[in-house]
């Protein structure tokens, strides 16, 4: 795995999202709302450059085109584990939701995740741009 381009990025979990998916962008907005201080996450589209700097080509080829979370520890989480990992990092009530979500076997969770992911553009719409329009005060939390 490649070293992070900026050592400051090591302090954050990085949420890679499908920049063309309304559901993925909605989840990013949710995380931004819950992490108002900006201490937990940075965000980058899957279509951006950062992911190619952080992950090797074999790992990249195996990733889904929905949500990926790379922890500050270097661990890559995908599918339901990416969502539950992000909720866990939020703490409080959302940590409890993550714990309860992990009661279901991962295989079952990932099947449900894949079903929703397969229908997400029909259910939640898509966008023609890779990144949501970001207010100036949040731009430092997005990395290309």
Per-residue pLDDT band for 3 (boundaries 50, 70, 90) equals very low
What tens digit of pLDDT does each residue of 62-117 get? 888 789 999 988 899 999 999 999 999 999 999 999 999 999 999 999 999 888 88
Which position has the token pair 């400051």? 8
For residue 135, being part of any structural domain is answered with: no
What tens digit of pLDDT does each residue of 38-64 get? 888 999 988 888 888 888 899 898 888
pLDDT at 5: 59
pLDDT at 126: 55
For residue 106, being part of any structural domain is answered with: yes
For residue 17, being part of any structural domain is answered with: yes
Token reading at 23: 């559901």
For 71, counting Cβ atoms within 10 Å of its Cβ (0-12 exposed, 13-18 middle, 19+ buried), the class is middle
Highest mean pLDDT among 57-61, 95-99, 118-122, 134-138: 95-99
Count of structural domains, the chain: 1
pLDDT at 104: 96
For residue 132, being part of any structural domain is answered with: no
Domain containing residue 41: 11-127
| Cα pseudo-dihedral 64, 59, 30, 19, rounded to 10 | -60
């Amino acid at each position: 795995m490649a070293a992070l381009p900026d050592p400051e990025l090591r302090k954050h979990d990085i949420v890679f999202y499908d920049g063309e998916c309304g559901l993925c962008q909605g989840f990013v907005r949710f995380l931004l709302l819950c992490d108002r201080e900006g201490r937990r996450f940075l965000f980058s589209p899957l279509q951006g450059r950062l992911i190619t700097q952080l992950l090797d080509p074999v790992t990249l080829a195996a990733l889904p085109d929905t949500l990926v979370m790379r922890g500050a520890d270097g661990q890559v989480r995908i599918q339901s584990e990416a969502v539950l990992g992000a909720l866990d990092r939020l703490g409080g009530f959302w940590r409890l939701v993550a714990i309860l979500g992990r009661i279901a076997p991962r295989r079952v969770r990932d099947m449900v995740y894949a079903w929703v992911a397969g229908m997400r553009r029909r259910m939640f719409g898509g966008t023609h741009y890779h990144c949501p329009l970001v207010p100036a005060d949040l731009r430092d939390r997005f990395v290309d």
